[in-house]
Amino acid sequence: GDLEATFMTSVCRSSNLQALVDSCGLLNPAKPLLSAYNTIVNEDHRGTRLANEDHHPPTKPPRYETLDDESYRLLLQAFNEKFETVRYTSESDPIRVTRDVDKLEKVSIRGVVYAHERSLPRDSNVLFRRLGGLTSRVGRIQSIFCLRHPTPDGLMMQATYAIVREYLPFLDEAKQSQYTQFGFAGGFLCHRERWNRSHVVELTGIICHFAKFTLQGGFMHVLPLNKVRSLLPERTRTLTTLKMMDSYDLPSVIL
């Protein structure tokens, strides 16, 4: 009975809303509201969906564009660091990389949507690692593009990259340690309006979204929105699961 009542309530509300919109001049005043809603309706607010898939195709077709000078310079620099060579250049010799790319609005990585800052602003805030790097950095995705380029062995490969502008980290160790003492889960302090530099990042280098909390003095607290399971050692995960099973008397619990 509850299920039928829920459907009936939904149908009645939809009918009432339709009649309200048709009977009064509500449509024109509501257009700005609908436009604002459409810009955020597809944003992934949590960034914590669980899935085993690595990558999915973008939901919208790519747009053919040519990289600007700065983006192209960052791309060549990233390739030289990745392949440990200095052979990537804008000239025809020794290895030429095209400027022509397929620009994407958003991609899905492990079931989570990431987008550039002009498309879905909140989905552009990410923790990432630069090519070949091990340190987690905080930044915002400026653009996403797909590119075919040669490897140092002469083979052609196709990959998707993101250009991420890095927030300038806060260097006061005393204040930073209030959060870093809890490890990755405690987050970081960064400057809110000051930037370090931009990086070309592979999709595998994007770790997760982050929640941004504004602080006084032009700073912000960055809280990673990632699966806790991937951040804990196996023994800790096992003990936590057993404690949860004891507390809730469940046959199995997945953390």
Give tens-digit pLDDT for 14-43.
888 777 777 667 777 778 887 777 766 655
Residue 16 lies in a domain: no
Number of domain units in the chain: 1
Identify the CA nearest to 225 among candidates 120, 137, 126, 129.
126
Residue 218 lies in a domain: yes
Residue 193 lies in a domain: yes
Cα–Cα separations (whole angstroms), residue 32 to 19, 38, 120: 20, 10, 17
Residue 159 lies in a domain: yes
pTM over 0.75, yes/no: no
Residue 209 dihedral angles phi and psi, to the nearest 5°: -75, 170
Residue 59 lies in a domain: yes
pLDDT band at residue 49 under the 50/70/90 scheme: very low
Q: Are 130 and 123 in contact (CB under 8 A)?
A: no
Residue 98 lies in a domain: yes
Give tens-digit pLDDT for 194-203.
888 899 998 8
Residue 138 lies in a domain: yes
Residue 40 lies in a domain: no
Range of the domain at 204: 52-229
- Name beta bridge partners: 250: none
